Structure 1
């Protein structure tokens, strides 16, 4: 079975939602197998992250500094990390994650929509149906 080059997921919270396109990586595959999932959002500066219950190893291309709107997987915390601006350890305007994360893809549209996610809010991740 051939995997499509890009998988789409929807991330929803009480006041909004967005979609993201994931590249075909081992971590993306592990994550999509666990969908749909419901978790509790945490915020850290201009980053939203939440536990996924998925446990994977850090990939060779893992990065600590990423572009806003990157969909990253924090292997150290089994969490999806969605930065949209500086975090408490950023230098300047960069998006610096807590430690190197596996890069899964990008948020479709404006990542600043994540500013509406409140710490402690329920968040749901599900596949986007074709």
Structure 2
């Protein structure tokens, strides 16, 4: 069976949703097996993150500074991290994550929509039908 080069997911919260395209990485494959799931949103500066229940190792290409709209996996917290602007440890306007994270892909829409996520909101992550 051939693995798709890209996986599409939908991330929903009470006031909105975004889709994301994920690259075929070991972390993406582990995450796909856990879908769908519902978690609780946490906010940290201009970043939304939430627990996935997935435990994976840090990959070689892990990054600490990423572009807004990057879909990252924070291995230390078993969480998806969705930065859309500066975090409390950013230098200037950069998106600096708490520690190096596995980069999975990109949000398809405007990452600024994440500003409508409130700390404690329920977040649902599901596969989009191919």
Segments of 5+ residues of structure 2 without an aligned counterpart are: none
2:89 is matched with which residue? 89
Report Cα offsets for 1:41-69 as digits up to 9, x if no partner: 00000000000000000000000000000
How far is 1:109 from its partner? 1.4
1:69 is matched with which residue? 69
Is 2:129 aligned against 1:129?
Answer: yes
Tell me which stretches of 4 or more aligned residues in structure 1 moved more than 4 Å: none
Is 2:2 aligned against 1:2?
Answer: yes
- SS for the counterpart of 2:50 is strand
Report Cα offsets for 1:65-99 as digits up to 9, x if no partner: 00000000000000000000000000000000000
2:53 is matched with which residue? 53
Aligned-residue Cα RMSD (Å) equals 0.4
Q: Matches of 1:129 and 1:17 in 2, distance apart?
A: 16
Q: Matches of 1:122 and 1:110 in 2, distance apart?
A: 20
2:26 is matched with which residue? 26
Q: How does 1:98-109 map to 2 (within 5 A)?
A: 98-109=98-109
Q: Matches of 2:54 and 2:22 in 1, distance apart?
A: 16
Report Cα offsets for 1:9-53 as digits up to 9, x if no partner: 000000100000000000000001100010000000000000000
1:78 is matched with which residue? 78
